[in-house]
Amino acid sequence: MTRGPKVAILGYPNVGKSSLVNRLSETRVAVVHERPGVTRDRHEVPCEWNGRRFTLIDTGGMDFLDDDPMAGSIREQAQAAMADADLGVLVVDAQAGARPGDAELADLLRRWHKPVIVAANKVDDVKDTSLALDFHRLGLGDPLPVSAAQGLGTGDLLDRVVELLPEGDAVDEDDDIIRLALIGRPNVGKSSLVNRFMNSERVIVSEVAGTTRDAIDLPLEVDGRRVIVVDTAGMRRQSKVTESVEYYTTLRSQRAVERADVALVICDAHDGVTAQDLRIADLAMREGCATALVLNKWDIAAMEESDLDHERAKVRNKLRLRPKVLTVSAKSGRNVERLLKEAIILGDRVSTRIPTPQLNRFISEVVQERQPPAKQGSRLRLLYMSQFETRPPRFAIQINSRNRVTRDYAYFIENRLRARYGMDGIPLIIDFNERGSRREGKHAER
């Protein structure tokens, strides 16, 4: 859901905003942790209540007295959410009582000129509902006692939200939208590249590794095509993940890959394509994503064309799906437009359907180029080829005997198919079905 009413969930750090977003949306998409400051970028989550559909915007905690640059960036993201929203929900901690930070936020929201609801969170028992009364002093109307942990009062909160929202529902995304996930190790420039795509400081960028915590969905239009760009947290080797926050952010990055059509594995050109980059690319391709590797910071890495050839050869040797290796600079914008166009081409090719006559001409040419293997004096015969699935593409080749199919020859056909139809980095499946057999044949894995 990309258009329609939006509700900004705002508040001081660690009052339970992300927990409340998860409770209201009946999801677990927002990262929740007892440590304050886990949420940083604004994150849009679809929600539905009594037939009304709208979008919740989870935001980071706003602390006006914190002079840390990261805190300043979080405040800017929250204020951008306010500019985009039709309604605000100020979340406060009923157990802690009204604090100066709540008063500062309330003063900001009174001058906002849009409806605001005060949600007094952490009222986990009915006998504690009177704790919400302390927040009348904020001057934003009657506070509602709620519990993100237990669900107490959340129905009443949703009733109030729906009552105050403007008319109109959020709408479903079109089928031809391409979901593009940017994945990679920490601090390789994923968020900088997202901001370059969006032509705005849409997500927080910092030299500190691990700044991005959630997988953030951002709508974009490229030459008339709608794209959802997903910025993700950095993915480190499992043995290197030492904190629970990092574990859950990595898990969300993996789930973002599962939902994506195309994955761009962002690498640091200073390091070249590392073993971890290759593992991340392999993960994306195993999830059925069309994949390319992108060397970011190309302009300042001082790499020669021969270095690029070396990286491409490394990828072709290590990754069976042979994804492309592209170059870009998030800092200067070099090759950014070309990268987006390449991503759209990859997204379209995952959905491509090749006509059967073309495939049968292709298989005939393959046989002429290299004769199929023979066993015990009898040769493998490729009789017929067709495609019967997309996303990812799946093909069937009718043959005379499965026992004569060798892994080497199956890979040869797969590589020729990639070369003929521009399917580098596209997961595809080839089934070899024996003539007259109803059982599914041996197939080349993704």
User: Is 234 annotated in some ligand binding site?
Assistant: yes
Torsion of CA 376, 379, 385, 387, to 10 degrees: 30
User: Is 441 annotated in some ligand binding site?
Assistant: no
The mean of the pLDDT values for the chain is: 83
Residue type, 52: R
Question: Are 132 and 15 in the same domain?
Answer: yes
Domain assignment present for residue 77? The answer is yes
User: Is 235 annotated in some ligand binding site?
Assistant: yes
Helices and strands in the chain: count of H runs, count of E runs: 11, 18
User: Is 123 annotated in some ligand binding site?
Assistant: yes
Instruction: Decide which of 189 and 212 is more confident.
Output: 189
User: Is 198 annotated in some ligand binding site?
Assistant: no
For the record, the structure tokens of 337 come out as 């437009």
User: Is 437 annotated in some ligand binding site?
Assistant: no
Q: What is the CATH number of the domain that holds 83?
A: 3.40.50.300
What is the DSSP annotation of 348-410?
HHHT----HHHHHHHHHHHHHHSPPPEETTEE--EEEEEEEETTTTEEEEEES-GGG--HHHH
User: Is 299 annotated in some ligand binding site?
Assistant: yes
Confidence band of 444 (pLDDT split at 50, 70, 90): very low
Question: Final residue of a domain: which of 101, 131, 164?
Answer: 164
For the record, the structure tokens of 177 come out as 């939208």
Domain assignment present for residue 439? The answer is no
User: Is 72 annotated in some ligand binding site?
Assistant: no
User: Is 61 annotated in some ligand binding site?
Assistant: yes
Look at 24-33, 52-61, 335-344, 370-379 and tell me which has the smallest mean pLDDT: 24-33
Whole-structure pTM over 0.75, yes or no? no
Question: Are 216 and 337 in the same domain?
Answer: yes
Domain assignment present for residue 95? The answer is yes
Residue pLDDT, tens place only, 335-351? 999 999 999 999 999 98
Instruction: Decide which of 174 and 158 is more confident.
Output: 158
Q: What pLDDT sits at residue 248? A: 43
Question: Are 344 and 384 in the same domain?
Answer: no
User: Is 14 annotated in some ligand binding site?
Assistant: yes
**In this prediction, what percent of the chain has a pLDDT beyond 90?**
52
User: Is 302 annotated in some ligand binding site?
Assistant: no
User: Is 247 annotated in some ligand binding site?
Assistant: no
| b/e sequence 380-397, b meaning 16+ C-beta within 10 Å | bebeebebeeeebbbbbb
Q: How many domains does the chain have?
A: 3
User: Is 219 annotated in some ligand binding site?
Assistant: no
Q: Tell me, what DSSP letter sits at residue 298?
A: T
Question: Are 305 and 337 in the same domain?
Answer: yes
Cβ contacts of 365 within 8 Å, gap of 6 or more: none
* Paired strand residues for 48: 53
Q: What pLDDT sits at residue 209? A: 42
Question: Are 233 and 312 in the same domain?
Answer: yes
User: Is 186 annotated in some ligand binding site?
Assistant: yes
Residue 405: φ, ψ to 5°: -80, 120
User: Is 15 annotated in some ligand binding site?
Assistant: yes
User: Is 59 annotated in some ligand binding site?
Assistant: yes
Q: What pLDDT sits at residue 254? A: 74
Q: What pLDDT sits at residue 56? A: 92
Residue pLDDT, tens place only, 309-334? 999 999 999 999 999 999 999 999 99
User: Is 433 annotated in some ligand binding site?
Assistant: no
User: Is 392 annotated in some ligand binding site?
Assistant: no
Domain assignment present for residue 443? The answer is no
Domain assignment present for residue 310? The answer is yes
**In this prediction, what percent of the chain has a pLDDT beyond 70?**
80
Domain assignment present for residue 253? The answer is yes
User: Is 187 annotated in some ligand binding site?
Assistant: yes
Question: Are 236 and 347 in the same domain?
Answer: yes
Instruction: Decide which of 234 and 97 is more confident.
Output: 97
Statement: residue 39 has pLDDT above 70? no
Domain assignment present for residue 217? The answer is yes
Calpha distance 194→305 (Å, rounded): 26
Instruction: Decide which of 256 and 367 is more confident.
Output: 367
Domain assignment present for residue 337? The answer is yes
Domain extent at residue 411: 356-434
Confidence band of 75 (pLDDT split at 50, 70, 90): low
